[in-house]
Structure 1
C-alpha cells in the first residue's frame, strides 16, 4: 500500500466512523451544522429560479441539504459528489428524511477527476475537500475546472486546509499529517488569486484552527490554517 492509498484508507475509516456514530445536525461533531458562509451566500440566488449547485466532497449533506431546502420552491438542483460509499448512502437517506430528494443528485466519484460541464453551475462549493485530491497538479486542474464550470455571475466557495499538523495528545509527538496534499498557506492563496484573478473576490480569510480527532483509538490534535475563499465570476458582455 503506497502513501496515497494509506491516507485514503485512514480517511475512509475516520469518516465512516463519524457517519455511523453521529447523525446529521446532531450536536457533538462537525456534522452539527452547515458552514455559515455557504448558507449566507444563498442570498445571492433568492430571486433566481432553477439555481444549479455543485457540492464537491459533499459528505452526508451537511451543506447540500440546507442549500437544497432553500431551493425547494425554485426548481433548483444540487449535484453532490463524494468518493465514499458511506457518504453517498447517508446523503440519500438524509435527503429523503428532509424532503429534498427531488433536488439532491448524488454521484459517487473522485473529485480530482470529476468532469464539470463548462458554464453549468450558479454556485460551486468545495468545503475541506480539495486538499484530498491526489496531487498538487490535480489540485490545480480542479481549480480550473471549477472556474470553467461556473456560470457568468456565479459564485465559487472554498474552504481549504493548509499547513496541517497532527500531534499525539498523550506524547506530544508530531505525526505525519494524513492529508493527500498539505500546501503552504501562501501557495494556496497564490493559486486561488491566479485562477480567479478576473473574478470579484467576496471573501479571502485565513483562520488558524485546532480540534481533536480520533484515529485508531488515538487522540490527535489537528492544527490548520483554514482558508476561506469566495469569488464571483463576471457577467459576459
Structure 2
C-alpha cells in the first residue's frame, strides 16, 4: 500500500471508530463491543493459575472492550494493565470507562501508534493485540511489532493475537465489492506462516479461524465488512 492509500485507510478507520465509540458503550448490547473476546479472558485465567498478579498490555485497546473486563478480573491482585490506542477519542473514552467501572487503580491509558510502541523489555506477562495488527503499514512492520512484543514478555508470558485477514468490504444493498481500505490485508495462510515463523520457539496455545462479518456505516453507503478472523496465541517457554 502506498503512502496516500495508507493515509486514506487510516482516516476511514479513525472516522468509523470515533463514531462507534461516540454512539455506543462497551459491554452493552448492540455491537461487537458488547462483550470481551472469550479466548482473551480464558488465556488470562490460564495465567492466573500460576501467578497471583500480572502485567498486561492491550494493544489497540479502543474504548476498553477487553481492557475493562481484564482489569475487573485483576482487581485486588496488584496487577497493572496498559491500554494503548492510536485514537485520542478511544483513549479518552477508555479513561471515562476506567472511572465508570472503578478500575482507575489498575489501568493506565496511553495514546500511541502500535506500530511504533515502546514496549518495556521483560515486563509483561500477557500481551493482547485484538484487531489492530492489520492496521500496521507493511509485512515488515508487522514482524517488527511482533518481535518487540516478544522482547517485552517475561518467561511464561502469553500473547493473544486476533487479526482480520482476507478482508472484503461490500455494499450491503448491491453486494458490489469495494476497494478495501485496510492497511495490511494479508491472506489467512500468509498471516499464519508469519506468526508460526516468529513464534517458532514458543508453545502455541491457539490457532483458529472463523468467518467474520459485521455491518458498518463506514462510507457514504452502508457496507458489510467480511474477513477470515484468525486467533493465534502462544506462550514463552524458553
TM-score band (shorter)?
over 0.9
Relative to the length of structure 2, the TM-score reads 0.95
Matched residues in 2 for 1:19 and 1:85: separation?
Answer: 11
Matched residues in 2 for 1:51 and 1:172: separation?
Answer: 46
2:83 corresponds to: 80
1:90 corresponds to: 93
Relative to the length of structure 1, the TM-score reads 0.96
1:222 corresponds to: 225
Instruction: Report the aligned-residue RMSD.
Output: 1.2
- For residues 100-115 of structure 1, the aligned pairs below 5 Å read 100-115=103-118
1:154 corresponds to: 157
- For residues 1-237 of structure 1, the aligned pairs below 5 Å read 2-47=4-49, 48-235=51-238
Does the residue aligned with 1:2 lie in a helix, a strand or coil? helix
Matched residues in 1 for 2:200 and 2:47: separation?
Answer: 23
For residues 186-218 of structure 1, give each alpha carbon's deviation from its aligned partner in whole angstroms, at most 9, with x where no partner exists: 110011001111111111001122221112342
Unmatched runs of 5 consecutive residues or more in structure 2: none
Kindly state the Cα deviation for residue 83 of structure 1 after the two structures are TM-superposed: 0.3
Q: Which moved more, 1:161-170 or 1:47-56?
A: 47-56
- Report if the CA contact (8 A) 1:147-1:195 is conserved: no
Matched residues in 2 for 1:171 and 1:65: separation?
Answer: 38
Matched residues in 2 for 1:89 and 1:157: separation?
Answer: 24
For residues 207-231 of structure 1, give each alpha carbon's deviation from its aligned partner in whole angstroms, at most 9, with x where no partner exists: 1222211123421121101110011
Matched residues in 2 for 1:150 and 1:184: separation?
Answer: 27
Does the residue aligned with 1:38 lie in a helix, a strand or coil? helix
Does the residue aligned with 2:89 lie in a helix, a strand or coil? helix
Q: Which moved more, 1:91-100 or 1:162-171?
A: 162-171
For residues 7-27 of structure 1, give each alpha carbon's deviation from its aligned partner in whole angstroms, at most 9, with x where no partner exists: 111111100111011111111
Unmatched runs of 5 consecutive residues or more in structure 1: none
Kindly state the Cα deviation for residue 41 of structure 1 after the two structures are TM-superposed: 1.2
